[in-house]
């Protein structure tokens, strides 16, 4: 083996987005592309000499090749040890747990999350720090800056490592420790939740369907739900990870997980349904005949978390991303605890969690998590739901109705316009920035605009400021419209329009969502001229 120093040139566009760098797989497979970005990450964190790193990914196409390259580069850059998930697999929350548990200096996670996989689809890479969480903006800025002046990278000249046998092996002077991707994570879940109560729930005939969407949570769900908790075999469907996720989008929402929705609305529907995404950090939750929006799920989990052992002492606070509905705020208010509104992306929760100011966090995009790791965690949310269901012995539908009658209902929906020409999407947002000062006081669709701004986040822990995080338009009746551009897409721009309306009256908690939101949808169109700017008559995806 020999350490090669390979001359290279900066590659444009290697700017990490909401959650790491995401590109078309073929772009990642291009000459020096992965190598340049990996070296930039290593350089940006002050090198990896003598450091311990965690490595794994969601098993999508190119995961196995990328793992070999990153191992060789870590070795050439002097890393002491890499803790690798067997077969190169680790879910995002499991990686976060391993970084924390093993006191590693950080970790590299290979995933484009909910984006489809395959040679013609997407690939991604993200770096998490020693707290187990996504690198904060200060670090991703350094990574991007380094991609722009990189002139060489280091890589070990050596053959591929067999990623299968558990235990320690070596690559050059570096130790590679191959671990079971599931074991430590399953142990952590057992510490947080009342597994006996959940076991009894299944013994009592409770039926569940968990759709792993051919992605990384398959092995985790098989082990935890079926083997440890005793759910009948067949509870987990699509449980074998495949490099192209069975040709689908591993995105747990009513559009891409329509099989599950259909099963949950069928005559013989199970009691509980759930799904997770490519890298296992998202969750979708359904009861028999009811879909729980992620924003509502966050609120219900926060209101009931004390039923699980890990949270029996109460929560220190709740944080939600800005576009997430304000249902959780009402719970925080009732509990008398802190409530924070952060920009989109899990990296903004890290400081609040590290400082012990919040216990539970969530995003409208099907992400929920707690201070047990520093990532959102799909199976964790499913297990917390199961723990609550085991203690309350009520159908999901009844739990939701009771929650709404106590707190009011925040009707909520997100409309996505995908692959919009970048200039048009930018122009739409820029125009809103320009007119936002004039909106307050205006009457739109019978509602008065109370405030409008481009959200800037002031991190209360480290004082950093993140600007231009999305347009917020709040109405006097509690309704709200948020518009922002996605930071995870790989084609053109994706405009996300988030719509919310608060309804305190229990007699009006059973309206079809589209109907309840109709005035808000019309107001969004009237203010933002979405049709005109995007040239689209309707959204591509509604969740
Ligand atoms: C989307 C979601 C955001 C989430 C991010 C990463 O980002 O909106 O809430 O944190 O994906 O999730 P954007 O910028 O496209 O809106 V994952 O599970 O795809 O890593
Ligand atoms: Co994900």
Give residue limits of the domains in the chain.
Answer: 2-180, 185-407, 409-542
Structural class in CATH, domain 185-407: alpha beta
pLDDT in tens, 64-77: 999 999 999 999 99
pLDDT in tens, 353-374: 999 999 999 999 999 999 999 9
pTM of the shown model:
0.94
The pocket around ligand 1, CB under 6 angstroms, is made up of: 18-19, 113-114, 277, 281-282, 321, 344-346, 363, 365, 367, 486-488, 496
- 2 C-alpha to ligand 1 centroid (Å): 40
Nearest ligand (C-alpha, residue 498)? 1
- 75 C-alpha to ligand 1 centroid (Å): 31
Average pLDDT over residues 315-332: 98
Do 185-407 and 2-180 have the same topology in CATH?
yes
Q: Does 365 participate in catalysis according to the annotation?
A: no
Strands 317-321 and 360-363: parallel
**Is residue 201 helix, strand or coil?**
helix
pLDDT surpassing 80 at residue 489: no
| Among 113, 325, 413, 486, the one annotated catalytic | 113
Query: What is the pLDDT, as a whole number, of residue 18?
Result: 84
Average pLDDT over residues 233-249: 95
pLDDT band of 1, cuts 50, 70, 90: confident
H or E stretch at 495: strand 493-503
Taking CA 148 as the corner, what is the angle to CA 69 and CA 62, rounded to the nearest 5 degrees? 25
Nearest CA to ligand 1 atom 1: 488
Query: What is the pLDDT, as a whole number, of residue 381?
Result: 98
Query: What is the pLDDT, as a whole number, of residue 490?
Result: 78
CA 240 to chain CA mean position, Å: 21
Indicate the CATH number for domain 2-180. Answer: 3.40.120.10
pLDDT band of 291, cuts 50, 70, 90: very high
Helix boundaries (H) for 160-238? 183-192, 195-203, 217-221
CA gyration radius for the chain?
A: 23
Query: What is the pLDDT, as a whole number, of residue 19?
Result: 87
Query: What is the pLDDT, as a whole number, of residue 492?
Result: 87
pLDDT in tens, 364-413: 999 999 999 999 999 999 999 999 999 999 999 999 999 999 999 999 99
Neighbours of ion ligand 2 (CB under 5 A): 113, 277, 279, 281-282
Instruction: Kindly report which listed range (165-169, 183-187, 508-512) carries the lowest average pLDDT score.
Output: 508-512
Nearest ligand (C-alpha, residue 488)? 1
Query: What is the pLDDT, as a whole number, of residue 425?
Result: 96
ipTM confidence score: 0.97
Q: Cite the beta strand spans of 351-430 per DSSP E.
A: 360-363, 367-370, 409-420
Indicate the CATH number for domain 409-542. Answer: 3.30.310.50
pLDDT in tens, 431-457: 999 999 999 999 999 999 999 999 999
pLDDT surpassing 80 at residue 42: yes
pLDDT in tens, 107-165: 999 999 999 999 999 999 999 999 999 999 899 999 999 999 999 999 999 999 999 99
CA 364, CA 341: separation in Å to the nearest integer? Answer: 12
Please identify, by atom number, the ligand 1 atom nearest to the C-alpha of residue 376: 18
pLDDT surpassing 80 at residue 80: yes
Nearest ligand (C-alpha, residue 115)? 1
- 279 C-alpha to ligand 2 centroid (Å): 5
pLDDT surpassing 80 at residue 422: yes
Query: What is the pLDDT, as a whole number, of residue 487?
Result: 81
- 507 C-alpha to ligand 1 centroid (Å): 34
pLDDT surpassing 90 at residue 491: no
């Amino acid at each position: 083996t020999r350490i090669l120093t390979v001359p290279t040139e900066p590659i444009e566009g290697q700017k990490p987005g909401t959650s790491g760098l995401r590109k078309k797989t073929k772009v990642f497979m291009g000459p020096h592309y992965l190598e340049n970005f990996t070296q930039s990450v290593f350089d940006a964190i002050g090198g990896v000499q003598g450091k311990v790193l965690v490595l794994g990914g969601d098993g999508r196409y190119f995961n196995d090749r990328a793992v070999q390259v990153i191992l060789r580069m870590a070795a050439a850059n002097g890393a002491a040890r890499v803790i690798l998930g067997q077969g190169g697999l680790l879910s995002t929350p499991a990686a976060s747990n391993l970084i924390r548990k093993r006191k590693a200096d950080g970790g590299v996670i290979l995933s484009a999350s909910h984006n489809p996989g395959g040679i013609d689809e997407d690939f991604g890479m993200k770096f998490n720090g020693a707290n187990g969480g996504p690198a904060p903006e200060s670090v991703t800025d350094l990574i991007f800056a380094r991609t722009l002046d990189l002139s060489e990278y280091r890589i070990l000249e050596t053959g591929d490592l067999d990623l299968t046998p558990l235990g320690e092996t070596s690559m050059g002077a570096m130790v590679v420790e191959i671990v079971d991707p599931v074991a430590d994570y399953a142990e952590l879940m057992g510490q947080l939740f009342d597994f006996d109560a959940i076991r009894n729930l299944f013994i009592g005939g409770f039926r569940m369907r968990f759709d792993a969407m051919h992605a990384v949570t398959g092995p985790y769900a098989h082990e935890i739900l079926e083997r440890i908790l005793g759910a009948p075999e067949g509870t987990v469907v699509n449980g074998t990870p495949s490099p192209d996720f069975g040709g689908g989008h591993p995105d747990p929402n009513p559009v891409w997980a329509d099989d599950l929705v259909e099963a949950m609305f069928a005559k013989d529907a199970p009691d509980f349904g759930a799904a997770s995404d490519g890298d296992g950090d998202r969750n979708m939750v359904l009861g028999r005949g009811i879909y729980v929006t992620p924003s509502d799920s966050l609120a219900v989990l926060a209101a009931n978390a004390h039923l699980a052992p890990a949270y029996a002492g109460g929560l220190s606070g709740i944080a939600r991303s800005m576009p997430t509905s304000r249902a959780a705020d009402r719970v925080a208010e009732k509990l008398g605890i802190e409530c924070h509104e952060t920009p989109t992306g899990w990296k903004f929760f890290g400081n609040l969690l590290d400082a012990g100011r919040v216990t539970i966090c969530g995003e409208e995009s099907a992400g929920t998590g707690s201070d047990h790791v520093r990532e959102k965690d799909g199976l964790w949310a499913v297990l917390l739901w199961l723990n609550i269901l085991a203690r309350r012995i009520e159908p999901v539908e009844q739990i939701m109705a009771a929650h709404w009658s106590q707190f009011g209902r925040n009707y909520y929906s997100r409309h996505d316009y995908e692959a919009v020409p970048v200039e048009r999407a930018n122009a739409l947002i820029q125009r809103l920035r320009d007119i936002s000062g004039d909106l307050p006081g205006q009457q739109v669709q019978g509602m008065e605009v109370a405030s409008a701004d481009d959200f800037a986040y002031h991190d209360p822990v480290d004082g950093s400021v993140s600007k231009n995080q999305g347009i917020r338009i709040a109405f006097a009746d509690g309704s709200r419209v948020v518009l922002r551009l996605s930071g995870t897409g790989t084609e053109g721009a994706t405009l996300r329009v988030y719509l919310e309306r608060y309804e305190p009256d229990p007699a009006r908690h059973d309206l079809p969502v589209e109907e309840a939101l109709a005035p808000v949808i019309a107001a969004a169109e009237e203010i933002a001229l979405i049709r005109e700017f995007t040239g689209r008559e309707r959204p591509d995806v509604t969740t």
